[in-house]
Amino acid sequence: MHQYIAFYKPFGVLSSFTDPDGRDTVKAFVDVPGVYAAGRLDYDSEGLLLLTDDGDLIHQLLEPRYHLPKTYLVQVEGKPTPGAVATLEQGVVFQGKRTRRCEVLLVDEPEIAPRQPPVTPHGATSWLRIVLREGRKRQIRHMTAAVGLPTLRILRVAIGLITLDDLLPGEWRELSCEEVERLKCSSRL
């Protein structure tokens, strides 16, 4: 019987279970033998990380052709203009390649757990809801920087139809059978 876990990765924690440099890893929070992260979330990003011992599902989730949507709440410095939002949606070029089209929406400040350590902006901030269907390294940070909106905080709130629900940083839960089935179906589309 496979295990499927939704974990709220805190800021400043690696998505792996080991680190030769001694930084905090998922293992400090989830002591379940044999599970691995199905994807990654940067050290300085936080939010939903799926863990499983189902190698077939990990492969499906990481397969780029399925373009499984990942939803983020992103705090940026500054006030996005309609033009900046449109540019983000259409894709920006970084590292010589244009990002795929995505969904971007300016949203009110969400009711979420405060980050530790707290974000210390230099001016006004705004929140964006961004849905990506690709996962390039530090993509959101590069995208928002390209339109003059430095990223202050990234919180992944959903992978496909799986959400954080009421988890707090460092907490985890087992996925329900229904959630696992929806995840498997969505990664085969």
Q: For residue 109, give the CATH number of its domain.
A: 3.30.70.1560
CATH number at residue 26: 3.30.70.580
Q: Quote the number of domains for the chain.
A: 2
74 with 119, same domain: the answer is yes
Q: pLDDT by residue (tens digit) across 75-113?
A: 999 999 999 999 999 999 988 999 999 999 999 999 999
Q: How many other CB atoms are there within 10 angstroms of residue 95's CB atom?
A: 10
Q: Which of 19, 21, 31, 42 is catalytic?
A: 42
80 and 152 share one domain: yes
E strand map for the chain: 4-9, 36-37, 46-52, 70-77, 93-94, 97-98, 103-107, 125-132, 151-159, 162-163, 172-174
Q: Show the domain range for 25.
A: 4-64+161-186
pLDDT score of 39:
87
Q: At which residue do the structure tokens 């009421």 appear?
A: 166
- 42 catalytic? Reply is yes
Percent of the chain residues past pLDDT 90, beyond the cut: 79
pTM score above 0.85: yes
The answer to whether residues 154 and 172 belong to one domain is no
Residues of the chain with pLDDT under 70: 187-189
Residues 106 and 120 in one domain: yes
Residues 88 and 167 both lie in one domain: no
